[in-house]
Structure 1
């Protein structure tokens, strides 16, 4: 993941990706994201018979879907400590039989070294945040983690760099005495997309806090991704045609 906290840090300190956004993500975006996850991946995840792999698990929407809709093992891969912390807390509240089926891997998928653990893999809201080199390194790791005939579903990144800046307001949410809100600002930055999240917290009389975190995204077309995936043993799924999702199937013999 690639992010920058636009606040002062001690010299030599490396910012933890999502250190700002983790506090606000579930409050401002989780409801919408939960609906999107169920719509995009629910039927495929529910058909898993070997295991479910959640690549870039975040706070756990796909992971929880896998635990709720199947009886198989679920592997959640989340490198960012800030996002992994609420994920772990959420999983800790589940009944013991569900906890026994979920494993959280704290690094990259390649570092996890998973082999043949799943027949359904989901990469949601993650692929755009991978630089081209990191993206290419992901494919052999996914191929190893999936059984032959397993399916990988990916939310597609933007196909191109935008021509100009755009702003999307996030719906505000009230919790007790405070209202939480924010906006997402995307803008072109050479061959990548600069995505800035501005968050605010308002008390009864004034704004009490304001935070900003910036991420970079790299565009890629469906055609280019599919060509790259074919060279790593994947073919397009004949059963899935969705403008938001690329579904591929791992060939046998790899």
Structure 2
């Protein structure tokens, strides 16, 4: 990841996607964040949906890790608008988790909408860093990547949104491409006279099955949390030695 990754998408994410993602984040992770007693670690914080949810649901410190400058800017703006007592509980780390000096700071780690965008080598580098940041017995929860390549192109259209005199819209197309998934985002802005501007940004995803992810994590001291069978989120716990 480079500091200017998401330079295009950062402008449009909160407008087109964040409301639905906020609902989803609360549904998937709020209970675990509320159970945290030491700290919550948000890996790949983006513009701050998991970070904000964790602050509201918990009473512990929150560590938000976000290396992309473009995504970190709206995150910082969002945090700056919070009351002082909430801001005092959150720390933003402007690097990858592997680069951040975090050791035993959390008993709950959440990685939402991030793992799919990491190549296998990057995933293997992330797991020991996550284990280091968690206390023994801590939980790691993350949104699973797609299990396989798509058989055909998959398109998702974002609901149009109006801000003042301008209308914002966009779509995402996922396509198989030599063992990876090419995810292409298209955004547009329209005024009363028609199109004002259009942008395209492409990301890559690497598929992996649930069993493959569990096997990888077990090599780094994690084991599946019992009773957690959500098809979207994998919940693991760091073994106590």
Runs of 4+ in 1 over 2 A off after TM superposition: none
Contact 1:198 1:213 in 2 (8 A): yes
Aligned alpha-carbon RMSD (Å): 1.0
Deviation at residue 124 of structure 1 after TM alignment: 0.1
2 CA distance for matches of 1:160 and 1:78? 27
Q: Secondary structure at the match of 1:85?
A: helix
Task: Give the corresponding residue for 2:57.
Answer: 69
Task: Give the corresponding residue for 2:7.
Answer: 19
Gaps of at least 5 residues in structure 1 are 2-13
Deviations, residues 73-121 of structure 1 (Å, cap 9, x unaligned): 0000001000000000110111111111111001110100200000000
Deviations, residues 13-56 of structure 1 (Å, cap 9, x unaligned): x7811000000000000010000000000111111000000000
Q: 1:80 aligns with which of 60, 68, 78?
A: 68
Matches within 5 A, 1:152-163: 152-163=140-151
Q: Secondary structure at the match of 1:109?
A: coil
**Are residue 168 (structure 1) and residue 151 (structure 2) matched?**
no
Gaps of at least 5 residues in structure 2 are none
**Are residue 129 (structure 1) and residue 117 (structure 2) matched?**
yes
Q: Secondary structure at the match of 1:110?
A: coil
Contact 1:113 1:141 in 2 (8 A): no
Count of aligned pairs between the two proteins: 241
TM-score (norm 2): 0.98
Task: Give the corresponding residue for 1:36.
Answer: 24
2 CA distance for matches of 1:228 and 1:210? 40
Q: Secondary structure at the match of 1:164?
A: coil
Q: 2:83 aligns with which of 66, 80, 95?
A: 95
Matches within 5 A, 1:108-123: 108-123=96-111
1 CA distance for matches of 2:173 and 2:91? 34
